[in-house]
Chain A
Amino acid sequence: MGVKLLLEKAHVEGIRTYEVYRREGGYRAAEKALKTMSPDDVVEEVKKSGLRGRGGAGFPTGLKWSFLAKPEGIPRHLVCNADESEPGTFKDRYLMEYIPHLLIEGLIISSYALGSNNTYIYIRGEYAWIVDILEQAIQEAKNNGWLGKNILSTGFDCEIYVQRGAGAYICGEETALLESLEGKRGNPRIKPPFPAVQGLWNRPTVVNNVETLSAVVPIINITGEEYAKIGVGRSTGTKLISACGNINKPGVYEIDMTISVEEFIYSDEWCGGIKNGKRLKACIPGGSSVPILPANLLLKTAKGETRYMNYESLNDGGFVSGSMMGSGGFIVLDEDQCIVKHTATLAHFYRHESCGQCSPCREGTSWMDKIFQRLESGKGKMSDIDLLWHIQFNIDGNTICPLGDAAAWPVAAAIRHFRDEFEWHITHAEEAQKRNYGLAHYADPLPIVQ
């Protein structure tokens, strides 16, 4: 068993309640931070921990915090991004559902560090029942003196509010989230100015993911230095991975980023291998936006080295032969899955979720979706493959926010690694309606580790 910092207590009976959470050592970190540390000490501790944003971008959290502008007389805000919407990702939901006080404690400490007296949790609208769970936890924390005025007699005031979104993937992008929190359409803002300078209501704002803010609790408890010793290189601490697709044990797992991808997929401690004894074909390791990898490049890098479940190793080979850790949404596809069909659902997803602000994304995602529908209905043309390639190329990097890139990458990677499957789809249009292409020759997996 690896180290567990976030989910260690997640299955203790009644942990959702304040009493049990407190009994199990909860709010110790908040007490330590508020009573014995200055806000800058907390920021320093998070810097030392090497914690990186767990929402997908992997930006160092301490560094992000240090960018926060502190002009005299202007309130600052911390906003928690709970708009988890990246296909394949359901880890934040798990944290909030099972151990909501961990997030609340992380928010109290982080609000203290950043000087946020009014902190907001922006949660995707569909997680309606989790809003109740969080509001209950906030009320309990308040009743016990962890929120409100003059917390622990430190002079620090803090309130936490939960704001529900209403069904828009784009609101996971931090500036779109802020627009939405201001009661507007979720159109991302042009940066600069960055939220750290002009964020919510033009005030300095930090936006962090649920898992990131929850990780602040163990960092304060064990110190940043100790946290940094867990994991490997710049992938410090633990990461939640939500695994789904054709595996025996879908679910949310906490890993310490030293295990190999092969171990993660085949070990009974994690995914438990491929379902029904099938063979592994491909995997999207970090949420639908990151490049899909065929089994051979997933388990080993292009250089033939073992690939590990961490930021650097998953990115080994860049986008030519690697992928990304992303949000930790781990989607596994077996030999029966059709790459064209699966990518088609993603193309449809991004078309649906494009805010429509930038032409390359608005038009490009729509064109890609239409072309995929053509391929899926058996009317594809060979030139469609290059057409898709050109469209994704022209979206990538040419939009205000990363949704454009996120829409382009899955299509690019699918064509890059599975071009022959696309070609077969077109040349065998009728057959493709009835059966799958199966394992691509280059996706033939390594022997299964027992």
Chain B
Amino acid sequence: MAVQFSQEKMNKVQEIIARYPEGKQKSALLPVLHLAQEEFGGWLSVETMDYVASLLNLLPIEVYEVATFYTMYNTKPVGKYVFEVCQTGPCMIEGSHEIIDYIKEKLGIGVGETTQDGLFTLKTVECLGACGYAPMMQLGKHYKEHLTKEKIDAIIEECRKNATINN
């Protein structure tokens, strides 16, 4: 897959750069990396990072050091659906460890692993700001809160269904 934004996304990049004063296009790095990750398979390959560097007129190292600092950027391939389960104090109290164990068992993978069909990746994350609605996880753009085993079953089912439709 050639790493190249569509015209529509290029317009978006230009719109982002225009938010900052002239010559400060480096400020666009985080938003453009988000965009690149969404566009190019859910993770940032070296090729993708080099492409972003060329777009913003940065040295590749300026992109690598940022991409590896922030936890939301994946520097390795991930599944189509990434379960990011919070394990910090308030979620732990409400049983996040049981939820994590259940997902492991259900999908047959460990934390940081992806299912063989490439559909699911399980990650543990630190506090996502949903402590009153614990246990919770992030799935794509949204939060799944008040998790139970039944809810996990339903979420997995729904993901599988969506994946089939999209194929």
Q: Which residues of A contact B (CB under 8 A)?
A: 75, 84-90, 93, 118, 120, 124-129, 159, 161, 163-169, 180-186, 201, 242-246, 250-252, 284, 288, 329, 331, 333, 337, 341-342, 345-346, 348-349, 352-353, 355
Which of B19, B30, B142 interacts with A161 by CB under 8 Å?
Answer: B19
Most buried by A among B26, B27, B66, B127: B127
Q: Is the CB of A242 within 8 A of B93?
A: no
Q: A163-B30, A182-B24, A182-B26 are in contact. Are A89 and B93 (CB under 8 A)?
A: no
Residue of B nearest to A91 (CB): B129
8 contacts between A and B (CB under 8 A): A88-B90, A161-B19, A163-B30, A164-B34, A181-B27, A182-B26, A288-B88, A331-B131
Which of B26, B27, B130 interacts with A90 by CB under 8 Å?
Answer: B130
Contact string, B32-44, partner A, CB cutoff 8 A, digits 1/0? 0110000000000
Which residues in window 81-95 of B have CB below 8 A to A?
A: 87-90, 92-93
Residue of A nearest to B134 (CB): A244
For B127, what are the chain A residues with a Cβ–Cβ distance below 8 Å?
Answer: 85-88, 169, 288, 349
Shortest distance in angstroms between A39's beta carbon and chain B's nearest beta carbon?
Answer: 22
Q: A244 to B94, alpha carbons, bound, how many Å?
A: 10
Q: Is the CB of A90 within 8 A of B129?
A: yes
Q: A127 to B142, alpha carbons, bound, how many Å?
A: 8
Indicate if B28 sits at the interface (CB-CB under 8 A). yes
Q: Is the CB of B34 within 8 A of A349?
A: no
Indicate if B73 sits at the interface (CB-CB under 8 A). yes
Indicate if B112 sits at the interface (CB-CB under 8 A). no
Q: A250 to B131, alpha carbons, bound, how many Å?
A: 8
Which residues in window 69-86 of B have CB below 8 A to A?
A: 69-73
Shortest distance in angstroms between B66's beta carbon and chain A's nearest beta carbon?
Answer: 6
Shortest distance in angstroms between A76's beta carbon and chain B's nearest beta carbon?
Answer: 12
Which residues in window 33-75 of B have CB below 8 A to A?
A: 33-34, 56, 58, 62, 65-66, 69-73
Q: Is the CB of B66 within 8 A of A185?
A: yes
Q: A169 to B71, alpha carbons, bound, how many Å?
A: 10
Q: Is the CB of B89 within 8 A of A88?
A: yes
Which of A75, A129, A242 interacts with B141 by CB under 8 Å?
Answer: A129
Q: A85-B129, A329-B131 are in contact. Are A183 and B89 (CB under 8 A)?
A: no
Q: Is the CB of B141 within 8 A of A128?
A: yes
Which of B30, B62, B73, B129 interacts with A84 by CB under 8 Å?
Answer: B129
Q: How large is the interface on B (under 10, 10 to 19, 20 to 34, 35 or more residues)?
A: 35 or more
Q: A86 to B88, alpha carbons, bound, how many Å?
A: 10
Indicate if B118 sits at the interface (CB-CB under 8 A). no
Q: Which residues of B contact A (CB under 8 A)?
A: 19, 21, 24, 26-31, 33-34, 56, 58, 62, 65-66, 69-73, 87-90, 92-93, 125-134, 138, 141-142
Q: A242 to B24, alpha carbons, bound, how many Å?
A: 37
Q: A341 to B69, alpha carbons, bound, how many Å?
A: 27
Q: Is the CB of B34 within 8 A of A166?
A: yes
Q: Is the CB of A165 within 8 A of B70?
A: yes
Q: A90-B131, A124-B129, A353-B126 are in contact. Are A183 and B71 (CB under 8 A)?
A: no
Which of B29, B56, B70, B90 interacts with A245 by CB under 8 Å?
Answer: B90
Residue of A nearest to B132 (CB): A250
Which of A86, A87, A183 interacts with B26 by CB under 8 Å?
Answer: A183
Q: A165 to B90, alpha carbons, bound, how many Å?
A: 23
Shortest distance in angstroms between A244's beta carbon and chain B's nearest beta carbon?
Answer: 4
For A84, what are the chain B residues with a Cβ–Cβ distance below 8 Å?
Answer: 129
Most buried by A among B21, B29, B31: B31
Q: Is the CB of A243 within 8 A of B89?
A: no
Q: A242-B131, A243-B132 are in contact. Are A167 and B71 (CB under 8 A)?
A: yes
Q: A124-B129, A129-B141, A243-B132 are in contact. Are A288 and B89 (CB under 8 A)?
A: yes
Q: Is the CB of B142 within 8 A of A126?
A: no
Q: A168-B69, A353-B126 are in contact. Are A201 and B93 (CB under 8 A)?
A: no
Q: Is the CB of B132 within 8 A of A244?
A: yes
Q: A243 to B93, alpha carbons, bound, how many Å?
A: 13
Q: Is the CB of A127 within 8 A of B129?
A: yes
Shortest distance in angstroms between A51's beta carbon and chain B's nearest beta carbon?
Answer: 23
Most buried by A among B34, B126, B130, B138: B126
Which of A165, A185, A245, A353 interacts with B93 by CB under 8 Å?
Answer: A245
Q: A185 to B27, alpha carbons, bound, how many Å?
A: 11
Q: Is the CB of A242 within 8 A of B132?
A: yes
Q: A85-B127, A90-B129 are in contact. Are A163 and B31 (CB under 8 A)?
A: yes
Q: Is the CB of A183 within 8 A of B93?
A: no
Q: Is the CB of B131 within 8 A of A166?
A: no
Q: Is the CB of B129 within 8 A of A126?
A: yes
Q: Is the CB of B133 within 8 A of A87?
A: no
Q: Is the CB of A183 within 8 A of B131?
A: no
Shortest distance in angstroms between A33's beta carbon and chain B's nearest beta carbon?
Answer: 25
Residue of B nearest to A159 (CB): B19
Q: Is the CB of B142 within 8 A of A129?
A: yes
Q: Is the CB of A331 within 8 A of B31?
A: no
Q: Is the CB of A250 within 8 A of B30?
A: no
Closest 10 CB pairs of A and B: A166-B70, A183-B29, A250-B132, A167-B71, A167-B72, A183-B26, A244-B131, A87-B127, A185-B69, A166-B72
New contact pairs (20) apart from A166-B71, A250-B134, A349-B89, CB-CB < 8 Å? A84-B129, A88-B131, A90-B130, A118-B19, A127-B129, A164-B30, A166-B30, A168-B71, A181-B27, A183-B58, A183-B62, A184-B66, A242-B131, A331-B131, A333-B93, A342-B89, A345-B88, A348-B87, A348-B88, A349-B126
